[in-house]
Amino acid sequence: MGIVEEAHNVKVMGPADRPTIVLAHGFGTDQSVWKHLVPHLVDDHRVVLFDNMGAGTTNPEYFDFERYATLEGYAYDVLALLEELRVESCVFVGHSVSAVIGAIASVNRPDLFSKIIMISASPRYLNDMDYYGGFEQEDLDQLFEAMASNYKAWCSGFAPLAVGGDMDSVAVQEFSRTLFNMRPDIALRVGQTIFQSDYRNLLCHVTVPCHIIQSMKDLAVPVVVSEYLHQNLGGESIVEVMSTDGHLPQLSSPDVVVPVLLRHIRYDIAD
């Protein structure tokens, strides 16, 4: 196993001669968030799972606060990973921030991505003139302050809001666990990097086909953002808004989401 693979807890499953699918998780989770999808892929795909640096499952000593002050740091990790695994082309499934990370990586190396499937993605979370991202700066300042003052209490409150459900649901408990596994100072930095980011100007440079998948109701990403992505991406794109609730639908509503993901993985926009 290579250095990058080991640092990111890479797992490769399925036949080596089949098309490669890379599954990339979002903030506060790790590769376990794909547990409902993976069994449907491993028979006829080479499936690559990994953890973003900063996830609770990674070594916190490897987290470079300067490198990961922007999403480009994560995008370079993805490219290094694909290079180390000798991936020539992949379907990249990115949840939340990883959808944008995949888009950044694809601008650098479009040849490595046959398409990007974006789940609950947003190029900017802050509202702006003629743009609705869902948050005002005051909202984010309060969020960061709560994370910094009592991280465990913040996790307990944020998890059900993000997932959409009560604390008794398995999905909320699972997200609470992976969120709490993050080192608090790293979680705060990652949260600030994501929520303060603005990659609207990048979208026109993304030429790889993008499949935009979104929950009808999502605390972090208003449904109008999916249409914004569709209108501003530089290549072909398609939008599917599901009847699901929450920012982690692949975890909270797998019965609905897994068939949708499989359809988008297997069929191209041109089909």
Our answer to whether residue 264 is catalytic in this structure is no
CA distance 119 to 252: 13
88-125 CB burial, b ≥16 within 10 A, e <16: eebbbbbbbbbbbbbbbbbbeeeebbbbbbbbbbbbbb
Our answer to whether residue 169 is catalytic in this structure is no
Task: Assess contact for 222 and 135: CB atoms under 8 A.
Answer: no
Q: What is the DSSP letter of 111?
A: G
Q: Which of 45, 95, 218, 237 is catalytic?
A: 218
Task: Assess contact for 237 and 229: CB atoms under 8 A.
Answer: yes
Show Cβ contacts of residue 119 under 8 Å, excluding neighbours closer than 6 positions.
93, 94, 95, 96, 99, 213, 214, 249, 250, 261
Pick from 178, 186, 171, 250: which is nearest to 214 by CA?
Answer: 250
CA distance 150 to 160: 17
Q: Which of 25, 211, 247, 264 is catalytic?
A: 247
Hunting for tokens 């290549």 — which residue is that? 235
Pick from 22, 35, 33: which is nearest to 178 by CA?
Answer: 33
Our answer to whether residue 96 is catalytic in this structure is yes
CA distance 211 to 221: 16
Q: Which of 8, 45, 51, 96 is catalytic?
A: 96
Hunting for tokens 């490595």 — which residue is that? 112
Q: Which residues are catalytic?
A: 96, 218, 247
